[in-house]
A and B are shown apart, each in its own frame.
Chain A
Amino acid sequence: MAEEEPIIEDMPLQKISVFTPIIYVSIVIGALILFSIFYRRKRIAKLQVMKPFFPPDLPKEIYLQLKDQDPKPDEKVLKAALIRRGAEAIRRLLKLRENNQYITLLYQKGSIGDEFFDRFKLALKIQELEIQELVQEAETYKQGWAPTFMPVCQEVTLNEALRRRVNAIEDRKEQLAKEWELYQEIEASITN
């Protein structure tokens, strides 16, 4: 702290080597490069450990595996698998879009952390990329399939959602009956 006492009385012309500015510049630039490398690495590592927003995408896995099989399966099988994959992608995208406003509201209120919000935004981006990829994939099977492909996938999604609900009625009934101890009565009424 106390060493800053420049002597200004006589200033002999000092000769500076040509390398001095070069060394200076290279140190500065080197430091910046190092920083950026580490920063990026850290960010990528952070993204890697980030928990995925959704459980593993099974239809996508199935499609990719089918596509990579050595004796190539029938094109119809591949197409069907692609539609399944598309249906799942649309389900996820819809879910994310639907919840977008709530998540944003939660974030504004301070009820969720930065990390979760980032994960959500990332999932949204990934899902949009997935849709793009699907469109490209569909085009490889048949030129001009994409415009009809997406509505088909959407229909599958809607149909499945409805089906899930219809199929769940039985479970719900059982669960409610158990809670209300009415199981025997219901069973009796079914058998009658």
Chain B
Amino acid sequence: MARVEYDYDESAETWPYFVITLLAVVLVPTTISYVSKIWSRSSSGRKAQVKKYATSFKASNHDQVSQLTGSKGSGNYFLFSDKTLVFLIVGWSLFLYVGYVIHTTELVADANVFDPWEILNIDSSATEKQIKSVYRKLSLKFHPDKLGSLSDEEKEDVETKFVLINKAYKALTDEITKENFLKYGHPDGPQSVTHGIALPKFLVDGKLASPVLVVIYISMIAIALPFVVAKWWDNVRSHTRHGLHIKTAAAFSSYIINNNPAKLINTETIIELISKAEELKSATNLSSEEIEELLLAQLNRVFFDSKKELQKLKVVSLVPKLINGLVDIAATFRNSELCVKAIEAQRYLIQAVNPTGCSDIEQLLQLPFVEKKEQVSKKIPVHTLGKLTTISDGEIADLVGIDKKNAAEVRSVASSIPVIKVLKAEFKIPGESVVTPQSNAHIVVKLLIKSPAQKGQAKVDDEKLEEKETFESLRDPFSIVQDQPVLACLPESPYFPVTVENSEYVNGWAVLLTVQRDGKLADSVDLLTRGSLSNLELSQKAYSDGEEVQVTTYKLKLNSPTPPTPGDYHFKLSFKSLSYLGSDLDIPLVMKVQEPPKVEDAGVYDIEDPEEDSIAGAMATLRGEKVKTADDDDDDSASDEEDLEIESDFTDINTDTEDEGEDK
């Protein structure tokens, strides 16, 4: 009978392979992610159009700011990578060692392996005739009768050899033996089978071995595995997809639901709301009141001793991410007021400007050397950055109350704060010349990112504003946007630390599309984060000529389809800068929904879901009327427009989140 036995890996043949595979499984992905992280960091540094504005101005908390920022935080950067790097080095050296072990251990050929061709010393393609002749020769040579004067040992050797030769010959010629050989790998039928266990012997056979193995086994299966899975799952459960802690998300949503619509939202409201965030509490171990106090101190440019100042800046540096999460939640509720106020609050915190009482000069307060609002002279009627760049250095010094030698620097910072100028904005449906009902549209905006110092129109070729519709662009209309470089924060606020974590939330503009009729958001809030900043360096003449002007393309994808009934729908497209004051832009936008030129298409669109839109329509008329009667104080645009027509999918925006009683 065949014997089955389990064998431990005594000669260390298999287990190094096992270990090396395990190592590779862990090491290769870690290394790839590590390298790509380093690469993306260095390349994003290259791609992002970072132009450092070496300003000689140092805010009172300059040391603490630079301690937290990414630029001086190279130590911080290494701290982050330290653990991974050590792990990788140790891992790879282990990998090399195991590789060396594998390389040096010779494979001991198993004596049991039966290879008839080798025994007969012939080629595996040999014909039967050849086999026969070789067999005859060998059997003559090794025949036991011809052994003559050999020692016993040698005799035995030769005898076994002879038996083997016979077997090999039979395996290749005799039917039954051949079958056995093909089935079991041996002419005698099934042989004893050894299963190697890829464990070194000391783990199994030593005195302590068995307990050690049990302990390892239990700690792996019963402790380590559940721990890792639980930790991962806990993290998934405790954070939303936007990386917000679920408690924070809950606090934000319940604020929006319970918010009294009659109350105005301002920066203080937002700060109060943000300070409840779990992230800030766990990062600082402070109560929400203390956090609120710190944030208000940032707003009012109150500075503390270095330890508390550092804490304050740490809290402030976490705010952009929270604001981003708040805006996402508020946008789902179609609450445009809260979105706008939240983004504004972020800017005020970044620039450390309290708008109350000085909203007319807030743009000037973000400039270096302008530390207090009392510094700004009320006599010179300059409130905007654009106007500031037109006056002389002496006047600038008088205006913001600074030394004349610093005026040039103020001017250069003022003219490098990017503003946008929209050249063209339209609704577009890929592959269609008009905006058809019930289709997925996006907004194409052609704009210039320019300096406030550049005045008037730029003569931009119409060619630059046109997009050729190629097969590629039809497939992915957004690729052209993605190909543009990432915007970087130009002159950084002297009061705010831009870190690796928050930089994605402070660069660029937030884009909000609101419905004119009721002032609600039409879609989720998007970010304009890619574009060309090269225009900032153009002279006024070069800008007006328009030859070197770089046009930035921005596309806003609409998640809801266009209305089912043709007509004009009015929207407002707002660009809200994420970190600068005075870089915002609002443009009106009309969506002209028309039936497509082809008749057959219209048929298809009509059939799609007539039921739903009729119900939605009925609901909308109902809501539209009711809301109007009770909501007059909220916005005048609603009362201006007497158009009560059913506005399809966009009417669901009309449901007034803030008003409790009116619906129904």
Residues on A facing B (Cβ under 8 Å): 1, 53-55, 91, 94-95, 97-99, 101-103, 105-106, 109-116, 119, 154, 157-158, 160-162, 164-169, 171-172, 175-176, 178-181
Could you tell me if A102 and B661 are in contact, using CB atoms closer than 8 angstroms? no
For B664, give its contact among A101, A112, A154, A179 (CB under 8 Å).
A154
Segment 222-269 of B: residues with Cβ below 8 Å from A:
237-238, 240-242, 244, 246-247, 249-250, 253-254, 257-258, 260-264, 266
B260: chain A residues at CB < 8 Å are 164, 168
B352: chain A residues at CB < 8 Å are none
Chief secondary structure at chain B's binding surface: loop
A106: chain B residues at CB < 8 Å are 253, 329, 332
Q: Which residue of B lies closest to A2 (CB)?
A: B210
Could you tell me if A112 and B249 are in contact, using CB atoms closer than 8 angstroms? yes
Could you tell me if A158 and B328 are in contact, using CB atoms closer than 8 angstroms? no
- Write the nearest CB–CB distance from A164 to chain B, whole angstroms: 5
Segment 279-315 of B: residues with Cβ below 8 Å from A:
none
A160–B244 Cα gap in the complex (Å)? 36
A161–B356 Cα gap in the complex (Å)? 29
Q: Given that A54-B258, A102-B332 are contacting pairs, would A111 and B242 also be in contact in the complex, using a CB cutoff of 8 Å? A: yes
Residues on B facing A (Cβ under 8 Å): 214, 237-238, 240-242, 244, 246-247, 249-250, 253-254, 257-258, 260-264, 266, 325, 328-329, 332-334, 355-360, 630-631, 633-634, 652, 655-657, 659-664
Could you tell me if B253 and A94 are in contact, using CB atoms closer than 8 angstroms? no
Could you tell me if A178 and B241 are in contact, using CB atoms closer than 8 angstroms? no
B655: chain A residues at CB < 8 Å are 98, 101
For A110, give its contact among B240, B357, B657, B663 (CB under 8 Å).
B240
A172: chain B residues at CB < 8 Å are 262-264
For B630, give its contact among A98, A162, A167 (CB under 8 Å).
A162
Q: Given that A94-B661, A102-B657 are contacting pairs, would A181 and B264 also be in contact in the complex, using a CB cutoff of 8 Å? A: no
A116: chain B residues at CB < 8 Å are 246, 249-250, 253-254
B238: chain A residues at CB < 8 Å are 113
B360: chain A residues at CB < 8 Å are 181
B329: chain A residues at CB < 8 Å are 106, 111-112
User: Can you offer 24 A-B residue contacts whose CB atoms are under 8 A?
Assistant: A94-B661, A98-B655, A98-B657, A98-B660, A103-B253, A106-B332, A109-B241, A111-B329, A111-B332, A112-B249, A112-B253, A112-B329, A113-B247, A115-B250, A119-B250, A161-B662, A165-B630, A165-B634, A166-B633, A172-B262, A175-B264, A175-B266, A178-B356, A180-B359
- Write the nearest CB–CB distance from A162 to chain B, whole angstroms: 5
- Write the nearest CB–CB distance from B24 to chain A, whole angstroms: 28
A103: chain B residues at CB < 8 Å are 253
Q: A111-B242, A116-B249, A154-B661 are in contact. List 7 more A-B contacts (CB 8 A).
A: A94-B664, A97-B663, A111-B249, A154-B664, A166-B633, A175-B264, A179-B359
Could you tell me if A95 and B246 are in contact, using CB atoms closer than 8 angstroms? no
- Write the nearest CB–CB distance from B273 to chain A, whole angstroms: 15
A161–B660 Cα gap in the complex (Å)? 7
A165: chain B residues at CB < 8 Å are 261-262, 630-631, 633-634
Interface centre among B240, B260, B357, B661 (most CB of A within 10 A): B661
B257: chain A residues at CB < 8 Å are 95, 99
- Write the nearest CB–CB distance from A107 to chain B, whole angstroms: 10
A172–B266 Cα gap in the complex (Å)? 11
Could you tell me if A91 and B661 are in contact, using CB atoms closer than 8 angstroms? yes
A175–B357 Cα gap in the complex (Å)? 11
Could you tell me if B240 and A111 are in contact, using CB atoms closer than 8 angstroms? yes
- Write the nearest CB–CB distance from A105 to chain B, whole angstroms: 6
- Write the nearest CB–CB distance from B441 to chain A, whole angstroms: 20
- Write the nearest CB–CB distance from B561 to chain A, whole angstroms: 16
- Write the nearest CB–CB distance from B158 to chain A, whole angstroms: 44
- Write the nearest CB–CB distance from B201 to chain A, whole angstroms: 17
A17–B663 Cα gap in the complex (Å)? 72
A25–B633 Cα gap in the complex (Å)? 71
A157–B660 Cα gap in the complex (Å)? 8
For A161, give its contact among B246, B357, B358, B661 (CB under 8 Å).
B661
A91: chain B residues at CB < 8 Å are 660-661
A162–B660 Cα gap in the complex (Å)? 10
Q: Which residue of A lies closest to B358 (CB)?
A: A181
Could you tell me if A113 and B661 are in contact, using CB atoms closer than 8 angstroms? no
Q: What 4 pairs between A and B have smallest CB-CB spacing?
A: A113-B246, A168-B262, A161-B661, A110-B241
A112: chain B residues at CB < 8 Å are 240, 246, 249-250, 253, 329
Interface centre among A98, A114, A154, A171 (most CB of B within 10 A): A98
Could you tell me if B264 and A162 are in contact, using CB atoms closer than 8 angstroms? no
B214: chain A residues at CB < 8 Å are 1
A116–B329 Cα gap in the complex (Å)? 13
A179–B631 Cα gap in the complex (Å)? 24
A97–B630 Cα gap in the complex (Å)? 19
B240: chain A residues at CB < 8 Å are 110-113
B244: chain A residues at CB < 8 Å are 111
A119–B266 Cα gap in the complex (Å)? 28
Q: Given that A110-B240, A111-B249 are contacting pairs, would A102 and B266 also be in contact in the complex, using a CB cutoff of 8 Å? A: no
A95–B250 Cα gap in the complex (Å)? 16
A165–B328 Cα gap in the complex (Å)? 27
A119–B237 Cα gap in the complex (Å)? 16
B261: chain A residues at CB < 8 Å are 165
- Write the nearest CB–CB distance from A188 to chain B, whole angstroms: 17
A62–B244 Cα gap in the complex (Å)? 39
Q: Which residue of B lies closest to A166 (CB)?
A: B633
Could you tell me if B661 and A157 are in contact, using CB atoms closer than 8 angstroms? yes
A157: chain B residues at CB < 8 Å are 660-661
- Write the nearest CB–CB distance from A191 to chain B, whole angstroms: 22
A54: chain B residues at CB < 8 Å are 258
Interface centre among B359, B652, B662 (most CB of A within 10 A): B662
A175: chain B residues at CB < 8 Å are 264, 266
A91–B358 Cα gap in the complex (Å)? 39
Q: Which residue of A lies closest to B257 (CB)?
A: A99
A178–B266 Cα gap in the complex (Å)? 11
A94–B657 Cα gap in the complex (Å)? 10
- Write the nearest CB–CB distance from A154 to chain B, whole angstroms: 7
Q: Given that A116-B253, A158-B630 are contacting pairs, would A94 and B246 also be in contact in the complex, using a CB cutoff of 8 Å? A: no
Could you tell me if B356 and A179 are in contact, using CB atoms closer than 8 angstroms? yes
- Write the nearest CB–CB distance from B368 to chain A, whole angstroms: 25
Interface centre among A101, A106, A166 (most CB of B within 10 A): A106
B247: chain A residues at CB < 8 Å are 113
A175–B332 Cα gap in the complex (Å)? 27
Q: Given that A99-B657, A180-B359 are contacting pairs, would A109 and B249 also be in contact in the complex, using a CB cutoff of 8 Å? A: no
- Write the nearest CB–CB distance from A57 to chain B, whole angstroms: 13
